[in-house]
Amino acid sequence: MKKQNMFIGVVASTMLLAGCGFLNNNSEKTSQSETQTASQKDKEKTQQDQNTKNEVQTSNETQKNNTSENNEVQQSKSRSIDHVYQKNTREYYAQIWLSVRNDMESFDNLSLSYGVYDRSGEPVNYNNADASATFPQGTMQLMPTPTAGGSITFKDNDDGTITVYDVPTKFQDLQWIEDDDYSLSETQKMMNSGQTYPIKDVSQSDIDFVAEHIENSTPISSGTTNSSNGSSSASSSASSSSTTVTRNNVIDLVEDYEGHMLDTDMYTYKEPEQMSDGRWGFSILDKSGNLKGSYIIDTDGTVTKYDEKGQPV
């Protein structure tokens, strides 16, 4: 009996020790698991902190790059403007001319000179003002004498560039005058298709040469109005002493004088040219090229018509 009790005690002790071992093993496993979990969390937190650091660094670099790019753009813009002459100077308009054209020999070949005109808000087709797009504010025109030199119509964008509009020097064809839809559509196309040119940094000698051929530094108005038939409001009589006669309203003054549009089907009218005394004139030819007469327009707007022999009509 005593041996049996001892055996039971030994078995119980063994089971107790085994249970303690099992508990110790579970405790160790739990501790290891908790340690691994904490370690994993530390790694994740470290990775998250690194990711955050990288994002902040990337954001700072992006902001730095953007700032650098903006500074470069501003510096480039500043450089592009620094070389441009002050507006309303002959040098400025010479620089504009040189930025668009590269045929300075035409000044000598054609004895060119250029007048400067402000076209802001004016109808593009001055012969049909009610059916015409208008020039944007700030639009200027360099108008040559003789017109064979080709005009330059532009708007300064105030950023070192100009927008140049391809506009004819005159709108004499009947379609421009009689076809309102055509006139409005085509003149609007001219305004929508302006080309951007950089204002070039050209040599001082070229600037000085062209500037000598610029007639005025302050732009003058053309004197045209938005009347229903595109004519100038100026009279063609001697009483119109307040009229400013320009290339753009010479034809209008002559048509007012005649009381009708010029007959381009029967006659050819030469380009108006300004004389040394400020008067304007142009000749009339038949379709065979024979001289049929001419017009002289005084500086006050008075029109005088001459026959083929040069006698006043």
Contact 215, 107 (CB under 8 A): no
Residue 24 maps to a domain? no
Statement to judge: residues 240 and 192 lie in one domain: no
Residue 94 pLDDT > 50: yes
Statement to judge: residues 217 and 161 lie in one domain: yes
99 vs 80 pLDDT, higher one: 99
Statement to judge: residues 253 and 170 lie in one domain: no
Residue 256, pLDDT score: 82
Statement to judge: residues 92 and 120 lie in one domain: yes
Statement to judge: residues 99 and 213 lie in one domain: yes
Residue 108 maps to a domain? yes
Statement to judge: residues 89 and 199 lie in one domain: yes
Q: What is the DSSP string of 84-103?
A: SPPSSSHHHHHHHHHHH---
- Would you state the structure tokens that stand for residue 53, as one six-digit string? 């650091």
Distances, alpha carbon 233 to alpha carbons 111, 143, 222, in Å: 32, 21, 11
The last residue of a domain, from among 82, 108, 125: 82
Statement to judge: residues 106 and 207 lie in one domain: yes
What integer is the mean pLDDT of 90-97? Answer: 96
Statement to judge: residues 114 and 146 lie in one domain: yes
Q: Is 282 exposed, middle or buried (0-12, 13-18, 19+ CB in 10 A)?
A: middle
Q: What CATH number is attached to the domain comprising 125?
A: 3.30.1460
Distances, alpha carbon 135 to alpha carbons 99, 111, 168, 178, in Å: 21, 29, 13, 21
Statement to judge: residues 72 and 156 lie in one domain: no
Q: How many domains does the chain have?
A: 3
Among residues 199, 216, 195, 194, the alpha carbon closest in space to that of 135 is found at: 194
Residue 31, pLDDT score: 54
Residue 110 maps to a domain? yes
The last residue of a domain, from among 29, 64, 82: 82
- Would you state the structure tokens that stand for residue 235, as one six-digit string? 């009279």
Residue 299 pLDDT > 70: yes
Statement to judge: residues 109 and 142 lie in one domain: yes
Residue 147 maps to a domain? yes
Residue 16 maps to a domain? no
Domain span at residue 255 reads: 231-313
Contact 104, 206 (CB under 8 A): yes
The last residue of a domain, from among 33, 55, 82: 82
21 vs 214 pLDDT, higher one: 214
44 vs 95 pLDDT, higher one: 95
Residue type, 84: V
Residue 172 pLDDT > 60: yes
Of 56-70, 192-206, 291-305, highest mean pLDDT: 192-206
Statement to judge: residues 103 and 72 lie in one domain: no
| pTM reported for the whole predicted model | 0.51
Chain centroid to Cα 143, Å, comes to 20
Whole-number average pLDDT of the chain: 77
Contact 142, 96 (CB under 8 A): yes
Statement to judge: residues 102 and 71 lie in one domain: no
Residue type, 279: R
Residue-level length of the chain = 313
Residue 162 maps to a domain? yes
